[in-house]
A and B are shown apart, each in its own frame.
Chain A
């Protein structure tokens, strides 16, 4: 489902002496449907860079990055927008939303984007918010003033409200208590059971051991690696 071959990444800093920084070389990995792969490696090794490249947020310098039928490394912006709408979900660590939009609408939005009727979309958003223990009294408020753990759960709800065939999870359990961590891990297990392919960063070892079928050390893709 996700096939990455010889993927490389460089940054050229035009305003800082045109410094060229090579951050990844020949990354190759393959993840099957129903499989969850954890990316590991020291801070700065390139876990987030690889996740961002899969999401189409960073441009690849070379190589290929296939998700289903689309090569994200060469896809047009419209192809990537369609991919994100229909196929590829993303749960990041930080919530980025329009101010003043109620939590329920923030969570329902991915469903509205694929044409689900508003009543159905809101009902699904509400059931997920309830499952993630977000008090009903908060559903009509904007999440911008919520606590870190609450905002993270809103992000998770947005990522799981549509049954994306592929999911990127960046530290989905980082600021959660044991009860909510359990809810999130169950959501991940359910996604795997329905055949979703998942790539994630989990510093939480308990979570990693529980949901990851294998881990990949991205240090192997570093240009500085000892060969």
Chain B
């Protein structure tokens, strides 16, 4: 938080051996663009960012080094819906093109449906149901899953 947004992203690259300043800054600009943070904010500190922007910066910072597996806890929670859509598209592209594996924790069933291949439903520390995402949502077998699905408000 004490360093600029660009340095937050660049730090990860340096940790895996990048040393060329121009390349690091170039990649930071590229990733800020992908999560829709304006390039002109690259030298600002994240403390001056909104909550949603901080969250997007965190996502850029974690994806920049091309990890094989990422965990995301409510990744779309603080985002406005327009950025949420773009982020979901970005994630789907990474999964498809780079073979990235993702485990997401979320309460948003719409996000689950559009993003996840498979779904595990948990209650009180136990997995109560698991399967193909659209099958679990459209034909839920467990009482708790049925309650969850039937309680979603339609937009």
Contact = CB atoms under 8 A, between A and B. Distances in A.
11 contacts: A12-B141, A14-B147, A15-B143, A57-B139, A58-B135, A59-B131, A77-B131, A81-B118, A98-B92, A99-B82, A99-B85
A27 interface: no
Contacts of B142: 14
A113 interface: yes
Contacts of A201: none
Q: How large is the interface on B (under 10, 10 to 19, 20 to 34, 35 or more residues)?
A: 20 to 34
Contacts of B150: 15
B74 to A, nearest CB: 18
B143 A14 contact: yes
B138 A52 contact: yes
Interface residues of A, number: 21
B134 interface: yes
Sort A-B residue pairs by CB-CB distance and give the 3 closest, nearest first. Answer: A14-B143, A77-B132, A99-B85
A226 interface: no
The binding surface of chain B is classed by DSSP as helix
Interface in B3-42: none
Contacts of A58: 135, 138-139
Contact of A59 (B86, B97, B141): B141
B70 interface: no
B89 interface: yes
Contact of A112 (B86, B96, B146, B147): B96
B105 interface: no
Contacts of B143: 14-15
A57 B118 CA distance: 12
Nearest to B84: A99
Interface string A134-174: 00000000000000000000000000000000000000000
A81 B135 CA distance: 11
Contact of B89 (A57, A101, A112): A101
Interface string A63-81: 0000000000000011011
Contacts of A98: 85, 88-89, 92, 114
For B86, B139, B150, which residue has the most chain A Cβ atoms within 10 angstroms? B139
